[in-house]
Structure 1
Amino acid sequence: MTAELKRPYTNDVWDPVETWSRDRIEEFQLGALKKQLARVEAKSAYYQKTFKQAGFSAADFKSFEDLRRLPLTRKADYVAGLQEDPPFGTMRAVELSEAVRVHFSSGTTGCPSPVLWSKRDIERWADLYARYLYAQGLRAGDVFQCMFNYSWFVGGLGATLAAQHIGALVIPGGSVDTKRQIETINEYGTKCVIGTPSFMAHVAEAAEEMGVDLAASTVSMVCVGGEPGASIPGTRERLERMWGAKMFDCYGALECQPIGWDTALQLGPQIAEDFIYVEILDPDTLEPVEDGQRGVLVLTHLDKEACPLVRWWTGDVVVRDRKPTPDGRTHATLKGGVLGRADDMLIVRGVNLFPSAVEDIVRAFPGTTNEYVLVIDDSVKDPKSGFLTGVKLRVERTDDAPEDLGEKLSYRLRERLQVRFVVEVLPAGSLPRTVHKAKRVITE
């Protein structure tokens, strides 16, 4: 588990930790949690306060059950910490002189949220990604074409570091210039491509229009992340047919990179249990659920330095399986990947979109009332893949609203949230009112 370039030790795995027994994994996690909780209590202003309010001391931590004495950490807590101590927030646990990288969210909770990395965090990140890409089949000397966005987005640099770590030849293509991406695959013999499912579908469709048969190309691995789809059988079957290659689910989030990726067996993302401790909780009772039952994924970093998280509520609904897989790997698998969300978050072309971010803009925009609703229908979906290409937004106009309200609001939303909006402007009083929790996302 060092950051130095290495080769598999036995049984064709990147790191011996991948085949540890369940007892050894849990023993390691318990020891790592003791150290990590002591560290965040000492260095993170947010967790110092949180621990104190919960009557919890890291010195008292003896078992996994003790962790449940602490409250969940949610995105709203992270954002509040940024506002309390700008620009990097109260959760950070390093001095700024110790941070070497910052990545940002898309700003879909109102403003871009920065997440810091230390030098060791970056090295750990690269090694974990390399472990997963190796498990999927990437080897030294292979050509790896990265089609993740490099602008602000966290995925591009992470994937690039990982492939370099293995010794692959990296082509940093980004998510632009589709024709050149296709030509590059054929000219340079790309073995592995990585990007969002929607961009992979777009590239495959563009190749068909160009008369290029990607199924006859050198690509044998299509790695995807950033949005749902890779673990959905219909999506996987369609993209594998178009590319003539195996598709792998690469699951992570800005705040926790990585969470888990498919191996060559394609049984679902396998969690990096030496990097994160996982709880699966009932979304209503917040009690743990048994393996095989649906629940929300909650994560605690075991060794993250710059921005460590304790009991981070991902909002993602998953099913855990802790049985070893046939290839000898022993870390838990998320069967079927992410099965849904426990909140109203949408994912549009790899961008996480929260209704609250839309609300912040709409309610501050001249000419609109307080009411709005986000509509998901076929007009904002790719007709072939079903992926969201945008969001339809219905708002109400006030009497003094400008004639081009919809156009101006659409531009502002795209500028702030990096998502395409189709704005429908309605007369005041057209949208339903409620005295209870408003339903802001509807499907038609």
Structure 2
Amino acid sequence: MTAPHSERYWHELETWSRDRIAELQLVKLREQLSYVHTNSDFYRAQWDDLGFDPRDLRDPEDLRKLPLISKADYVASLAERPPWGTAVAAAEKDRRRVHFSSGTTSGPTPVLWTQHDLDRWADLYARSAYSQGIRDTDVYQCLFGYAWFVGGLGATAGYERIGATVMPAGSSETQRQIDTMFRYGTTAVSGTPSFMLHLAETAEANGTPLSTSSVRRIQVGGEPGAGVPATRAHIEQRWGAKCFDGYGSLEFQPIAWECEEQAGGHIAEDFAYAEVLDPETHEPVPDGTPGVLVLTHLDKQATPLVRWMTGDIVVRDSARCGCGRTLARLPGGVVGRADDMLVVRGVNLFPSAVEQVVRRTPGTCGEYLIVLDDDVTDPVTGYLTGIKLRVEVEADCSPDLAHELARAVRAELTVRAVVEVLPEGTLPRSTHKSKRVIRAN
């Protein structure tokens, strides 16, 4: 177990000056790019064609001489040399773990870890949980999935590193999860926002609301949740606990996490160099401006990635947090996916913005679905003219709720909404990641 640096901070670098963080990143970039060039056939071929020598790196901005790498590029590297691909940089004898993507778009894709990578992963998760108040006296129930995917293993290792009592529970057997919380005095949980709300709903229906349990800390991830104020409030009210946003991906574990201030996830800037770029021009945008997040590993050994297009739209804030940490933050978490963005009569719309309006409207249950069908599509151009919302509502809600919600969407998001109200329990529930948008035409 790594001893925490202080009662408040897991590592001293969390409070370093921005200049000192920048110096560290430059040193690590030089080392990492040299390592990648030597050991990764995928990158070496690209960089040699460009005439790029990692030893010439003088400033992080020099990274912009290198191409952006997408999931499609990575998949192509796998096909070139199955099954692990040409991007792998660690020798076979040093590979300790492999996790896979869900395979919804390209078939499951593997990402590898060395022992160094696994230790780093655990320590970053420990830093995350420690910043949220988790200590060695906590009883932690991990509700992320374990089968095949990256899920809860990083969180499990991180909470163990702090010294908490850990239950690797997974994301099934809803009633058993609830019973376990009450029987063993669980104080901290993590999982997707969808599963958190599903558990709360089930517990309330059975007369054992989770607000009466011992849980005091919730970390959610995998989908927009704690970054959406109305969803965070919904979870906190039903659980009677504080809810924190966590952000990571298969390729980068973890990326950012919220501290006790709940003011946006702190980027793990000693693990990943972050660029925020205009989605169209790929030019850097200033802090406070939404852009697509591009990441470069600073010390990943097995499957290092350089200028990886996450596809996630974020806003960066490099100002010191109220907690005293100087690591840049992502206020609002992931605003949306670049490929999930809807364009409605010229207005860029992310599902998370719709979620915010729905979940803070009195009378709704919080469950909703965005339907894109002929009712909201121009028959000639095929462009969206609005959105259709199917929303679960409480039995005693206002009879005008559909009109009220449509007006709220129009007022706040400047798009037309066709609202269909449904009884509570109508829409499908998810114990993993909820699908909020369906195309029905």
Q: TM-score range by the shorter chain?
A: 0.7 to 0.9
Match of 1:43 in 2: 39
Q: Is the 8 A contact 1:99 1:116 kept in 2?
A: yes
CA distance in 1, matches of 2:283, 2:31: 25
Q: What are the equivalent positions in structure 2 for 1:134-173 lying under 5 Å apart? A: 134-173=130-169
CA distance in 2, matches of 1:198, 1:222: 13
Displacement of 1:344: 3.5
TM norm structure 1: 0.78
Q: Is the 8 A contact 1:377 1:443 kept in 2?
A: no
Displacement of 1:299: 0.3
Q: Is the 8 A contact 2:223 2:433 kept in 1?
A: no
Displacement of 1:222: 1.1
Displacement of 1:419: 9.0
Displacement of 1:7: 2.8
Match of 1:242 in 2: 238
Q: What are the equivalent positions in structure 2 for 1:130-279 lying under 5 Å apart? A: 130-279=126-275
Displacement of 1:24: 0.6
Any stretches of 5+ residues in structure 2 without a counterpart? 343-349, 352-382, 395-431
Match of 1:105 in 2: 101
- For residue 316 of structure 2, give the secondary structure of its aligned residue in structure 1: strand
Match of 1:390 in 2: none
- For residue 274 of structure 2, give the secondary structure of its aligned residue in structure 1: strand
Question: Does residue 89 of structure 1 match 2:89?
Answer: no
Where in structure 1 do 4 or more consecutive aligned residues deviate above 6 Å?
Answer: 345-348, 381-384, 418-421
Q: Please list the CA deviations of residues 415-434 of structure 1 after superposition, one character each: whole Å capped at 9, or x if unmatched.
A: xxx9999xxxxxxxxxxxxx
Match of 1:338 in 2: 334
Match of 1:305 in 2: 301
CA distance in 2, matches of 1:6, 1:95: 27
Q: Is the 8 A contact 1:100 1:118 kept in 2?
A: yes
Identity of aligned residues (%): 54
CA distance in 2, matches of 1:10, 1:88: 41
1:195 partner letter:
G
- For residue 171 of structure 1, give the secondary structure of its aligned residue in structure 2: strand
2:139 partner letter:
V
Match of 1:414 in 2: none
CA distance in 2, matches of 1:122, 1:443: 42
Match of 2:112 in 1: 116
1:180 partner letter:
R
CA distance in 2, matches of 1:338, 1:172: 26
1:219 partner letter:
V
CA distance in 2, matches of 1:220, 1:420: 24
CA distance in 1, matches of 2:146, 2:393: 27
1:315 partner letter:
G
Q: Please list the CA deviations of residues 43-97 of structure 1 after superposition, one character each: whole Å capped at 9, or x if unmatched.
A: 0011001112222111111111211000001100110011111111111101121
TM norm structure 2: 0.79
Displacement of 1:109: 2.0
CA distance in 2, matches of 1:328, 1:314: 28
CA distance in 2, matches of 1:334, 1:274: 16
Q: Is the 8 A contact 2:136 2:162 kept in 1?
A: yes
Q: Is the 8 A contact 1:322 1:332 kept in 2?
A: yes
Total equivalences in the alignment? 366
Q: Which moved more, 1:50-59 or 1:201-210?
A: 50-59
1:14 partner letter:
W
Displacement of 1:345: 8.4
Q: Is the 8 A contact 1:253 1:259 kept in 2?
A: yes
CA distance in 2, matches of 1:156, 1:10: 26
Q: Is the 8 A contact 2:194 2:433 kept in 1?
A: no
CA distance in 1, matches of 2:103, 2:234: 32
Displacement of 1:6: 2.7
- For residue 218 of structure 2, give the secondary structure of its aligned residue in structure 1: strand
Match of 2:421 in 1: none
1:311 partner letter:
R
Displacement of 1:443: 8.1
Give the 3 Å change call, closer, same or farther, for CA 103–382 of structure 1 in structure 2. Answer: farther
Match of 1:327 in 2: 323
Q: Is the 8 A contact 1:46 1:81 kept in 2?
A: yes
CA distance in 2, matches of 1:274, 1:201: 33
- For residue 155 of structure 1, give the secondary structure of its aligned residue in structure 2: coil
- For residue 263 of structure 2, give the secondary structure of its aligned residue in structure 1: coil
Give the 3 Å change call, closer, same or farther, for CA 34–104 of structure 1 in structure 2. Answer: same
Match of 1:285 in 2: 281
2:261 partner letter:
L
CA distance in 1, matches of 2:340, 2:220: 23
CA distance in 1, matches of 2:331, 2:174: 32
Q: Please list the CA deviations of residues 341-374 of structure 1 after superposition, one character each: whole Å capped at 9, or x if unmatched.
A: 21148999xxxxxxxxxxxxxxxxxxxxxxxx9x
Any stretches of 5+ residues in structure 1 without a counterpart? 349-372, 385-417, 422-439
Q: Is the 8 A contact 2:75 2:106 kept in 1?
A: no
- For residue 321 of structure 1, give the secondary structure of its aligned residue in structure 2: coil
Displacement of 1:243: 0.3
Displacement of 1:103: 0.3
Give the 3 Å change call, closer, same or farther, for CA 301–383 of structure 1 in structure 2. Answer: farther
Q: Is the 8 A contact 1:102 1:116 kept in 2?
A: yes
